[in-house]
Structure 1
Amino acid sequence: MPDRRDPFEEIEELFEQLNSGFAEMSAEFDAGGAGDIHVDVADAGDEIVVTADVPGFDSEEIDVSVSDRQLRIAAEHSTETETEDEETQYYRRERSRRSISRTLSLPTDVDEHAAAASYENGVLTVELPKADGDDGIDIEVN
């Protein structure tokens, strides 16, 4: 009598393959996949300095906010090109939209009134002075 394959064993193998694939995808997203912002977070004594790579955006397209020790950096850029050729009656419109965002936890409470952000050559620098005392402060920087 020939060996029969156990159908439940095949299903279990399939689930293991799926779980492995999802784990690999999750690791790619956690490691900084497309649309992610790469950051450095430094403790400069009396302030936390966050440096983020945000190339290809204008400063008006970047949104920075802080709330409950969470810093959120988001950027969105859209372009629209229209071309019209009267000779051939050809009309073309090309649109593109690109957005990236990143939220990270801050290691300590910061002072919302003294927070500052600057953007130069594709690098965003956010300076967040540490808050006095142990009481938490909700911060929103726009």
Structure 2
Amino acid sequence: MSRGTPFDEVERLLERLDDARDGGLAVDVEDAGDAFAVRTDLPGFEKTNIDVEVQDRTVRVDAEHEADDGDADADYVIRERTKQSASRSVTLPEAIEENEASATFADGVLTVTLPKTNAGGDATSVDVE
């Protein structure tokens, strides 16, 4: 394993700050041997408002959440909940089988499973179950 420079860690931190500022999602990518599992937390989102797209080795997740309109006659002291959108693209270290990708959404956690392969191809839309 190669040792990085101190600047590598700074660069990783800056990328995380950019992702957070731009509505980026924090992800975990697990190498499960024959597949990759990409997980991200999407609390408050509905699966119908989540899009997952796979192309070559890149997985893109887009999600939107409409704000609760609440009671129009209510006298709010603080009202901070607004429409939210978030997205993230992750490039995997190995080729994947796009047509066999699957996604599940349970308890606010999106899990995209991507079997490994040696081929590439066009973008593939993945249904979220």
Conserved? CA contact 2:36–2:114, under 8 Å = yes
1:54-93 alignment to 2 at 5 Å?
A: 54-79=42-67, 80-81=69-70, 83-84=72-73
Identity percentage over the alignment? 39
What residue in structure 1 maps to residue 125 of structure 2? 141
TM-score of the aligned structures, taking structure 2 as reference length: 0.71
TM-score of the aligned structures, taking structure 1 as reference length: 0.65
Q: Which range is displaced more, 43-52 or 72-81?
A: 72-81
Based on CA coordinates, which of the two structures has the bigger radius of gyration? 1
Conserved? CA contact 1:111–1:137, under 8 Å = no
Q: Structure 2: give runs of 5+ residues left out of the alignment.
A: 1-9
| Aligned partner of 2:87 among 97, 101, 107 | 101
* Structure 1 residue 122 corresponds to structure 2 residue 108: yes
Task: Answer 1 or 2: which has greater strand percent.
Answer: 1
| Structure 2 CA distance for partners of 1:136 and 1:75, relative to 1, 3 Å | same
Q: Structure 1: give runs of 5+ residues left out of the alignment.
A: 1-23, 86-93
What residue in structure 2 maps to residue 38 of structure 1? 26
If asked which structure has higher relative contact order (CA below 8 Å, sep 6+), I would say 2
| Structure 2 CA distance for partners of 1:45 and 1:125, relative to 1, 3 Å | same
What residue in structure 1 maps to residue 6 of structure 2? none
The CA deviation string for residues 46-102 of structure 1, in whole angstroms up to 9 with x for no partner, is: 1111111112211111111011211101111113346259xxxxxxxx883110111
Runs of 4+ in structure 1 deviating by more than 3 angstroms, as ranges, are: 26-29
| Structure 2 CA distance for partners of 1:28 and 1:78, relative to 1, 3 Å | farther
Q: Report the number of matched residues.
A: 109
